[in-house]
Structure 1
Amino acid sequence: MHCAGCGAKVGSTALGRVLQRLNSEFVITSPSLPLTPNPHPAEVEGRGEVIIGLSAPDDCAVVQVRGDKLMLHTVDYFPALIDDPFVFGQIAANHSLGDIFAMGGTPQTALAIATIPYAAETQQEETLYQLLAGALKILNQTQTSLVGGHTTAGPQLAFGLACNGLVDADKLLRKGGMQPEQLLIITKPLGTGTLFAADMRRQAKGRWIENAINSMLIPNHHAAACFLGVSPFSQQGASACTDVTGFGLLGHLLEMVTASGVAVELNLAAIPVLDGALVTVEKGIISTLHPENFRAAAQIHNLAEVEKHPLFPLLFDPQTAGGLLASVPPELANDLVGKLQSLGYHHSRIIGRVVSSREGILPVRVVI
């Protein structure tokens, strides 16, 4: 059985090789350009300049469209991991908007992409209605307009959104802004990958799945606003951020580490975990994407000390509609966690710290 949700993604290694091959044979994007807060009007006439594209990927593509405004582009689409199309529409919308919020942006519009299972016309109509009604519930909460889309019929329900957003150039959060001595905050618990893999095998308790769904239904926009309380460039808020999704906590953290040129110490015991996830990984039940994600373990320099710890496999668990991961100044971390928890992100935790990289030393140390 193959996993659904974000566990259905193609692995990061294969994806990276494809992009390398394409870059070697085609011009697939303009090179990433330095941010220009106040460009000359002639520079933004016609098509926008690509600020962040496939040559230096982040959570969203970024295009300079006018003045100091940047446009964010992102798309997500995956098979349903639950049978209820109304709830799945909400989860998929949260997941799709996560990249916009991770970069400090405000979503503007969305296009829906849906595959509706083969069925009688009336049943297809009701499924599509419930799916889009769920998505609109989240889009309306975040003041995002659904402006169109595309549907097909197929063997399995699948859904996603192509989202556009705007961000001020001086508010843009990137993966590459981590600085030594900063602390790492995560806003949601881990475990959706293993729990829904167990659910497919009828080995997950109902309350575990209900709790996981409730976590996936929490939008990330309030957390993003919390991290952006003050401009990140003034050192009074998050300086780097991403959302934790299909490549797992360690995979997405390594993207930040690589882009920032730093190293991290990760406190394994501090990482929040969904109810039941530890039970299912101890039974060896993992997502089909987990083995690909596990390749990131090669970047842990004390791997032999920690690989037998019960929580260790959850570092590689693919998340659907996961939380945000941000690096913040240490003097602000506790206050930010308290504020996040008051906003409904009850599992927000400080899970590690950023340190200077050392030549010849792998960039991740896991502390038990």
Structure 2
Amino acid sequence: MTEIRLTSLSHGGGCGCKIAPAVLSQIMAELPLPGGFPDLLVGTESSDDAAVYRLNERQAIVATTDFFMPIVDDPHDFGRIAATNALSDVYAMGGQPILALAVVGMPVDKLPLTVVRQILAGGVSVCAAAGIPLAGGHSIDAPEPIYGLVALGLVHPDQVKRNDRGRAGDVLILGKPLGIGILSAALKKGQLDETGYARMIEHTTQLNRVGTALGEMDSVHAMTDVTGFGLLGHLLEICRGSGLDAELSFSQVPVIDTALALAEQGVATGAAGRNWDSYGASVRLDANVAEWQRKFLCDPQTSGGLLVACDPDGAGDVLDLFHRQGFKHAQIIGRLQAGNGGVRVQA
């Protein structure tokens, strides 16, 4: 670990840095949609994970940008997490990454150049694991450390997995366990032990490369990744875009064991509260859902798992694919049904 605590140099960390959903909606409300581009298959209309532009009958380019401030103090781990998180948006569209560019903002008067170099090296290592080059980027002198990627990928136009194509009766499958925001809050307070840190790094640096294969499955109707808005926030994007409701059972949601213990002790992030304030009116909680469980479902995930809506008949194949590719916690957490964009949560 570096002697300089990266997390002490920023006011937030990881995907918890995101602007709250309600505030973002207000910002975007009066901006015009990008019309007049028939080859733009996915733009800003559905709050999806990346833009998709058709190049020809067999190829579309997937383009996304993602960056944030440190969620951990180790510079190499920070770079790995930020890069893994950025590439996830390409996988969430069913795409295959082909190229990345670095987005770098560093307080060069506060950080030794060796630390900055370690952050960038972490990103390079993840891109190498994904089989793509980190081919350039842009850097600025900034008051807080910022790192991420511009990520580009390819996908067949017929295999793009949007977040607004769910169907009534679809089952919902989550690929990674929840709890990253809770672990990050404990880390910042000095309450996270070595086991908890290892769990955090394990999940945040696991590439969601399974998304490419999921894009080829006709039984998968909608897909997104769970990041800063928490599971409920990104599930609501699927529900609103698809014009459906969802039913969710907390007991079926995979959670990181260390984070579960911390949540029961009251550890939570401020972003979880901001998330709930943004979309809580669209969520119906059963009376036996505890306060800490609600916060868990709003917990901002950094480099979180893929959330898949698929035909019930294909759920077994989807789960098998997740498990074969190393996502051992993947499981069914609920289903979509007729409705108008809300979520009901059972304990």
TM-score (norm: length of structure 1): 0.85
Give per-residue Cα distances to partners, 1:7-33, cap 9 Å, x unaligned: 111111111101113x2xxx4x52286
Indicate the residue corresponding to 1:40 in structure 2: none
Structure 1 runs of 4+ aligned residues shifted over 6 Å read: none
- Residue 306 (structure 1) shift: 4.2
Indicate the residue corresponding to 1:38 in structure 2: none
Contact 1:32 1:53 in 2 (8 A): no
Indicate the residue corresponding to 1:134 in structure 2: 122
1:193 corresponds, among 164, 169, 181, to 181
Which secondary structure does the structure 2 equivalent of 1:86 belong to? Answer: helix
- Kindly indicate whether residue 35 of structure 2 is the aligned counterpart of residue 31 of structure 1: yes
Distance 1:33 1:57 in 2: 18
- The letter of the residue matching 1:363 is G
Which secondary structure does the structure 1 equivalent of 2:23 belong to? Answer: helix
Contact 1:114 1:159 in 2 (8 A): yes
Unaligned runs of 5+ in 1: 35-48
Contact 1:193 1:319 in 2 (8 A): yes
Distance 2:139 2:283 in 1: 43
1:299 corresponds, among 275, 279, 282, to 282
Contact 1:32 1:56 in 2 (8 A): no
Distance 2:128 2:268 in 1: 34
Contact 1:3 1:197 in 2 (8 A): no
1:230-245 equivalences in 2 (<5 Å): 230=217, 232=218, 237-245=219-227
RMSD: 2.1
- Residue 304 (structure 1) shift: 5.0
Contact 1:263 1:357 in 2 (8 A): yes
- Cα 1:32–1:86 change in 2 (3 A) is farther
Q: Once structures 1 and 2 are overlaid, which stretch shifts more, 4-13 or 335-344?
A: 335-344
Give per-residue Cα distances to partners, 1:66-120, cap 9 Å, x unaligned: 3342222111111111122222111111100111100011112211011234358
- Cα 1:363–1:56 change in 2 (3 A) is closer
Give per-residue Cα distances to partners, 1:209-263, cap 9 Å, x unaligned: 2111111111001x21342343x2xxxx311000000000000000001111111
- Cα 1:113–1:299 change in 2 (3 A) is same
Which secondary structure does the structure 2 equivalent of 1:164 belong to? Answer: strand
TM-score (norm: length of structure 2): 0.90
- Kindly indicate whether residue 16 of structure 2 is the aligned counterpart of residue 7 of structure 1: yes
- Cα 1:182–1:249 change in 2 (3 A) is same
- The letter of the residue matching 2:115 is T
Larger Rg: 1
Contact 1:3 1:288 in 2 (8 A): no
Percent identity between matched residues is 34
1:8-157 equivalences in 2 (<5 Å): 8-21=17-30, 23=31, 27=32, 29-31=33-35, 49-119=39-109, 123-124=112-113, 126-157=114-145
- Kindly indicate whether residue 323 of structure 2 is the aligned counterpart of residue 363 of structure 1: no
- The letter of the residue matching 1:88 is F
Distance 2:330 2:110 in 1: 44
Unaligned runs of 5+ in 2: 1-7
Indicate the residue corresponding to 1:213 in structure 2: 201
